[in-house]
Amino acid sequence: MPTSPSSSAQAAQKAVADRLRELMLDAGLQGQELATLCGWNAAKTSRIINAKTAPSDSDIRAWCAACGAEDQAADLIAKSRAADSMFLEWRRMERTGLRAAQESVRPLYERTQRFRAYAPWILPGLVQTRGYTTAILSAIRDRRGLVDDIPAAVEERMVRQHVLHDGNHRFALLIEESVLRSGLGGPEVMALQLRHLLTIGRLPTVSLGVIPFRSDRERAWPVEGFWIYDTAQVSVELVSGYLTVTQPSEIAMYGRAFAELGELAVHGAKARQLITNALDSLD
């Protein structure tokens, strides 16, 4: 199972900090000496070295200049920016509304060939109906006090679903049975959503698995929802922000978690029966 969902971002930030420390030591400098050359206090040097504070682009340039390693500044700046982008707070991602956040991931969906998604709380966006998406994004807007651009954001998510039918894409979806009975949006919205899910599950490009309720679930317990895009990255939606995992070892951990969860799932007629049972319970 995955460890801390922020460990990939932390590891990337620490790698930048460790390299800056090496440059300082290679130059024969102590923390106070480097701080003086850079024009800041020693406490700032300590925070950067210990990955407590992410250095700005200008901090890295000043650091490299003080160490006589100006040629390494550009590479370190690129790595620092990449580390910073691994974890993106929702308030930054959604500062202009929800539509921009939806648009930002469309290129990733279009270039990915193999999708694996685990849904413990809500259905994956690619299989959502317009009503279900509207209910979810409206709740997010209200909770976070965002700009009201729900119609545009919903439309963007609907447009993104073209990857289900176009191109060389394959989808493996694992959904907890509780998601089928969440009641999001009310009975009418949920009924339409479950009927749509039955249709999507019959697509030749989609493998739909439902993890049923069980009283003896001793392993592969529910974890945070995640998407695996080929073997390039994993995306995780947290309460506080959007995490992008790119370390191969962590991507492999999520892959193993997906496989373990998949062993508990039912597919085909058995999965459709669980969806139908949830649909019948709405009546």
CB 207 within 8 A of CB 257: no
94-281 and 7-86 share a CATH fold: no
Residue 135 is predicted with a pLDDT of 95
Position with higher pLDDT, 153 vs 95: 153
Q: What is the pLDDT of residues 8-26, one digit of tens each?
A: 667 778 889 999 999 999 9
Q: Please, which pLDDT band fits residue 6 given cuts at 50, 70 and 90? A: low
Distance CA 215, CA 213 (A): 7
Residue 62 is predicted with a pLDDT of 96
Taking the whole predicted model, whether its pTM rises above 0.85 is answered as no
Q: Please, which pLDDT band fits residue 81 given cuts at 50, 70 and 90? A: confident
Which has the minimum average pLDDT: 2-6, 16-20, 40-44, 106-110? 2-6
Distance CA 221, CA 208 (A): 19
Asked whether residue 5 carries a pLDDT value surpassing 60, the answer given is no
Mean pLDDT of 187-193: 96
For 97: left if phi > 0, alpha if psi spans -120 to 50, otherwise beta; the answer is left
**Candidates 3.40.50.620, 1.10.3720.10, 3.40.50.720, 1.10.260.40; correct CATH number of 7-86?**
1.10.260.40
Residue 260: partners with Cβ closer than 8 Å, 6 or more residues away: 1, 219, 220
Asked whether residue 203 carries a pLDDT value surpassing 90, the answer given is yes
Residue 3 is predicted with a pLDDT of 41
What are the backbone angles phi and psi of residue 29, rounded to the nearest 5°? -105, 150
Q: Please, which pLDDT band fits residue 88 given cuts at 50, 70 and 90? A: low
Distance CA 143, CA 10 (A): 27
Position with higher pLDDT, 94 vs 211: 211
Asked whether residue 1 carries a pLDDT value surpassing 60, the answer given is no
Sign of CA dihedral 167, 110, 74, 25: negative
Mean pLDDT of 161-179: 95
Name which of 163, 6, 31, 32 is nearest 86 in CA terms.
6
Strand order in the sheet with 206-211: 87-89, 241-245, 233-237, 226-229, 114-119, 170-176, 206-211
In the chain, count H helices and then E strands.
14, 7
CATH of domain 94-281: 3.30.870
Sequence ranges of the domains in the chain: 7-86, 94-281
